């Protein structure tokens, strides 16, 4: 078996073959769009994530999700580690990670495409809200800044005392964030805030350290997010240090300049967000609509990778990938040069060695290295 080294790629095959360099795919991108979602999408009679909510999560392809009522039941059990891990892997991908607060009936949680370096749960001092806390996570972003996300579910109901209780929760969150997160950090507070009126104290408190503009809406301009589309409960609030990162939510057939409130009953075309069905947002017991905001993240500059074949021993073939030391790269392989056939095999910080343990099974294979997003 012969190997030929070409720029950015290696070829493993029964004969020496040419391989085109693909610089547009191999060089570092300068920007990345990160999609953040507030998602109280449990349904049914047990406040769990069922097929309708999971369809919406899959179809909208978020990168960071603040979940409320984070309960799961599947073949792996009810809220077991295996059940939660299976839900995350099958809904988002095996590269996603999650945090779910424990000890609560309807816990909050966070799911992320990017690595969490810390997470936890703050106790909500409102003793009448004892079935969830404030879940939070620190997330390493592909940028110089880390992102801190807090998933919240504030006191419900329009009762006479509840606006004051939500205002107290907002004040408590402000103090917790300023005490525990670095100054000028990127911060997102997202979730079901149960706010009935913009005159509430919670709104004015949040406005002192987080931005709520522009306000996301569906394609008909409706900003409301509860099941009956009459109240704007769900929000994605961002620190002022992130406001210059906001970009429109771009879907295949329409752009939402202020962000998206997703309702499957009015969104078109649903083929863009498969496997969402038209009735998912109106499913029995469905809590609220998903709220989406997109951000532009500037990637740290990393040099294009180079592959250095180290030879073939028995059934194994290996090469060394070099690039910008400490930057993350992906090794991909394919049986031909069709872009759709490339499969990610390993992600690591350069330099690192990739080993193909069953190379003898392939009469021909191509390899390339890419800067990881």
pLDDT at 84 exceeding the cut of 50: yes
pLDDT at 306: 82
pLDDT at 144: 62
DSSP, res 314:
T
Query: What confidence category does residue 313 fall into, taking pLDDT thresholds of 50, 70 and 90?
Result: low
Query: What confidence category does residue 6 fall into, taking pLDDT thresholds of 50, 70 and 90?
Result: very low
- The least confident of 19-28, 203-212, 267-276 is 19-28
Whether residues 232 and 142 share a domain: the answer is yes
pLDDT at 184: 86
Whether residues 7 and 110 share a domain: the answer is no
- The least confident of 118-122, 275-279, 312-316 is 312-316
pLDDT at 305: 81
* Of 315 and 191, the one with more pLDDT: 191
The alpha carbon of 16 is separated from its chain's Cα centroid by a whole number of angstroms, namely 42
Residue with tokens 């997160």: 181
pLDDT at 335 exceeding the cut of 80: no
Spatial distance between the Cα atoms of 296 and 145, rounded to a whole number of angstroms:
12
Spatial distance between the Cα atoms of 143 and 95, rounded to a whole number of angstroms:
18
pLDDT at 315: 64
Domains of the chain: total: 2
Whether residues 223 and 337 share a domain: the answer is no
The model's pLDDT over 108-147, given as tens digits with 9 standing for 90+, comes to: 999 999 989 999 999 999 999 999 999 999 998 876 689 9
130-164: burial string, b at 16+ Cβ within 10 Å, e else: eebbbbbbbbebbbebbbbbbbbbbbeeeeeebbe
* Of 350 and 4, the one with more pLDDT: 350
Spatial distance between the Cα atoms of 70 and 42, rounded to a whole number of angstroms:
8
Checking 22-26 for CB contacts under 8 A at 24+ apart, the result is 22/368, 23/304, 25/339, 25/368, 25/370, 26/304, 26/305, 26/368, 26/369, 26/370, 26/371
Sequence-distant (6+) residues with CB within 8 A of 244 are none
Whether residues 239 and 93 share a domain: the answer is yes
Query: What confidence category does residue 319 fall into, taking pLDDT thresholds of 50, 70 and 90?
Result: confident
Strands 234-239 and 210-211: antiparallel
pLDDT at 76: 98
Whether residues 125 and 171 share a domain: the answer is yes
Whether residues 83 and 15 share a domain: the answer is no
Whether residues 285 and 141 share a domain: the answer is yes
Average of pLDDT values for 358-372? 76
Whether residues 266 and 324 share a domain: the answer is no
pLDDT at 90 exceeding the cut of 50: yes
- Domain end among 298, 317, 348: 298
pLDDT at 314: 62
How many C-beta atoms lie closer than 10 Å to residue 334's C-beta?
Answer: 17
* Of 111 and 310, the one with more pLDDT: 111
Whether residues 306 and 321 share a domain: the answer is yes
CB 265 within 8 A of CB 279: yes
pLDDT at 260: 98
98, two tokens: 């999650």
* Of 233 and 329, the one with more pLDDT: 233
Whether residues 334 and 282 share a domain: the answer is no
- The least confident of 25-39, 109-123, 187-201 is 25-39
- Domain end among 298, 326, 355: 298
Whether residues 246 and 112 share a domain: the answer is yes
How many C-beta atoms lie closer than 10 Å to residue 327's C-beta?
Answer: 18
pTM equals 0.76
| Strand-pair partners of 261 | 291
Average of pLDDT values for 169-188? 96
pLDDT at 191: 98
Q: What is the mean pLDDT of the chain?
A: 88
Within 193-327, strands assigned E span: 210-211, 234-239, 246-247, 249-250, 255-256, 260-262, 290-298, 306-313, 316-322
pLDDT at 338: 60
pLDDT at 102: 96
Whether residues 123 and 247 share a domain: the answer is yes
Residue-number span of the structural domain to which 176 is assigned: 31-298
């Amino acid at each position: 078996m012969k190997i030929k080294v070409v720029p950015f790629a290696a070829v493993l095959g029964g004969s020496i073959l040419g391989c085109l360099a693909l610089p547009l795919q191999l060089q570092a991108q300068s920007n990345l769009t990160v999609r953040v979602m507030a998602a109280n999408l449990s349904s049914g009679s047990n406040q769990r994530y069922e097929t309708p909510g999971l369809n919406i999560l899959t179809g909208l392809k978020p990168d960071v999700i603040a979940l409320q009522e984070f309960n799961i039941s599947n073949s792996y059990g009810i809220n077991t580690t295996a059940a939660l891990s299976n839900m995350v892997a099958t809904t988002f991908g095996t590269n996603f990670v999650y945090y779910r607060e424990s000890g609560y009936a309807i816990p909050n949680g966070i799911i992320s495409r990017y690595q969490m370096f810390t997470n936890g749960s703050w106790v909500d001092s409102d003793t009448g809200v004892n079935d969830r806390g404030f879940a939070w996570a620190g997330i390493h972003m592909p940028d110089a800044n880390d992102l801190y996300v807090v998933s919240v579910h504030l006191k419900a109901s329009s009762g006479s005392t509840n606006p004051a209780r939500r205002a107290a929760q907002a004040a408590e969150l402000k103090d917790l964030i300023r005490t525990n997160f670095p100054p000028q950090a990127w911060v997102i507070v997202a979730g079901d805030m149960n706010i009935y009126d913009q005159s509430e104290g919670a709104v004015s408190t949040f406005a002192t350290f987080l931005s709520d503009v522009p306000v996301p809406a569906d394609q008909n301009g409706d900003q409301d997010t509860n099941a009956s589309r009459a109240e704007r409960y769900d929000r994605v609030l961002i620190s002022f240090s992130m406001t210059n990162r906001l970009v429109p939510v771009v879907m295949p057939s329409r752009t939402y300049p202020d962000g998206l409130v997703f309702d499957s009953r009015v969104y078109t075309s649903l083929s863009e967000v498969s496997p969402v069905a038209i009735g998912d947002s109106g499913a029995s017991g469905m809590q609220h609509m998903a709220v989406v905001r997109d951000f532009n993240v500037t990637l740290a500059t990393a040099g294009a990778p180079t592959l250095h074949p180290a030879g073939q021993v028995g059934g194994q073939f290996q090469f060394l990938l070099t690039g910008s030391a400490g930057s993350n790269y992906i090794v991909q392989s394919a049986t031909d040069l069709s872009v759709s056939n490339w499969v990610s095999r390993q992600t690591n910080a350069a330099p690192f060695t990739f080993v193909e343990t069953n190379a003898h099974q392939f009469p021909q294979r191509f390899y390339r290295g890419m800067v990881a997003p």
